[in-house]
Structure 1
Amino acid sequence: MKTFIYPEMMTHVAMCTHKNPRTVMVLSTQSDLLKTEMARYRDTESVYADTNDLLNGLREQADKSTDVLLLDTLSDDSAVFAHANRILKEDALMVCKHPALDDVSANTKLMQILGNYFKIIMPYHLEDGSTLLLCSKEYHPTADLILQRSDLLEGHQYYNCDVHIAGFAMPQYVRKNYLGIIRN
């Protein structure tokens, strides 16, 4: 996969879905790639932490202090998501890695944990067939897409508003496998 696709899709799907993202926390071992994309949002304050110390990175943040959380790691630890929920504002959203969609049991476990905190839980595709998971307390990633924001961003090699919406299209077998688990 081209190295620019992942950071663009992790960052801009979230940032162009949230109505007014002002505070972003990025937990990643690839912070440099995500910093480049976050730099496009001049009115946003970003905090970066390494995923090697995931729980401490979350523990250090104040309650209800974050609009968007970009979690660049795979976790099914309920403590991680309890702390994530604690730092997220009432209308916040999170993007995170998750097991391949073919692993229904692992995703079911993860999505059930996330279901305790988020109204909307939807996977979206990257070019290589992998997916990320958008979890939102309020905003729907296709219904609430901020078209003006996505159209005004410059310098992308992959992301645009059409790719944003298309990423959420799932084949019927995925819909059937995750009926009642994916929340959209």
Structure 2
Amino acid sequence: MKEFIYNEMMVHVPLCTHKEPKNILIISNNASNLENEVKKHIDISSNSIACSLDEVSKLEDNKYDVVVSEMEGDSLFISQINRVLNDDGVLVIKHPNLDKIEENKSLITNLGNYFKIIMPYNIGEGSTALLCSKTYHPTADIILQRSDMLDNLEYYNCDIHPAAFAMGNNVRKTYLGIIKN
């Protein structure tokens, strides 16, 4: 996978969906590339921290606007993410390939306990992530000015953002009633 596509899509999609992201949490074993993407948002005075899966339980409640997680999580992990996200928070999380239907249905159903909107989107070369939001819709609430004014990007732009959420009818039918959009 072209790493720049992955990094840009994991970071810029949620940061251009949330109205005013200031505190960003990155859950990764190697967050430096994702942190570098966050720094490209010069209009956002962000406090970005990176941590491992084990450290999430030690974080402050309602602190983060956006969480970018490279770790797939169980129900305990997802409840911890919900605890640290504020009331209009956005989560991007990796998940099993869309072909792993039962694993995804279980994960999405669990996420549905906490998030109003849950949508898969393309992060490059056939891989997808889930955008989970308590308030903002990733295609209706995109901050166009922010997404169009980013410099030094190789892939992401204001046209790629909504296009990434386009899914074929086979995905729509398979996940009908599970995905919340």
| TM-score calculated relative to the size of structure 1 | 0.95
1:137-156 maps to which residues of 2 (within 5 A)?
137-156=134-153
The match for 2:98 among 101, 108, 125 is 101
Q: Distance in 2 between matches of 1:41 and 1:85?
A: 24
State whether structure 2 residue 13 is matched by structure 1 residue 16: no
- Report runs of 4+ in structure 1 exceeding 3 Å deviation: none
1:1-184 maps to which residues of 2 (within 5 A)?
1-42=1-42, 43-50=45-52, 54=53, 56-75=54-73, 77-184=74-181
Q: Distance in 1 between matches of 2:64 and 2:95?
A: 21
| Residue segments in structure 2 that go unaligned for 5+ positions in a row | none
Residues paired across the two proteins, number: 179
Tell me the secondary structure at the aligned position of residue 112 of structure 1.
helix
Q: Distance in 2 between matches of 1:148 and 1:57?
A: 34
Q: Distance in 2 between matches of 1:181 and 1:65?
A: 28
Tell me the secondary structure at the aligned position of residue 96 of structure 1.
strand
Query: Please, what is the CA RMSD of the aligned residues?
Result: 0.9
Tell me the secondary structure at the aligned position of residue 4 of structure 1.
helix
Q: Distance in 1 between matches of 2:101 and 2:31?
A: 29
CA drift of 1:59 comes to: 1.3
| TM-score calculated relative to the size of structure 2 | 0.96
CA drift of 1:126 comes to: 2.4
CA drift of 1:132 comes to: 0.6
Per-residue displacement from partner, 1:38-70 (whole Å, max 9, x unpaired)?
1113411111113xxx1x321121110000000
Q: Is the 8 A contact 2:121 2:128 kept in 1?
A: yes
Q: Which amino acid aligns with 1:148?
A: Q
Q: Is the 8 A contact 2:10 2:123 kept in 1?
A: no
| Residue segments in structure 1 that go unaligned for 5+ positions in a row | none
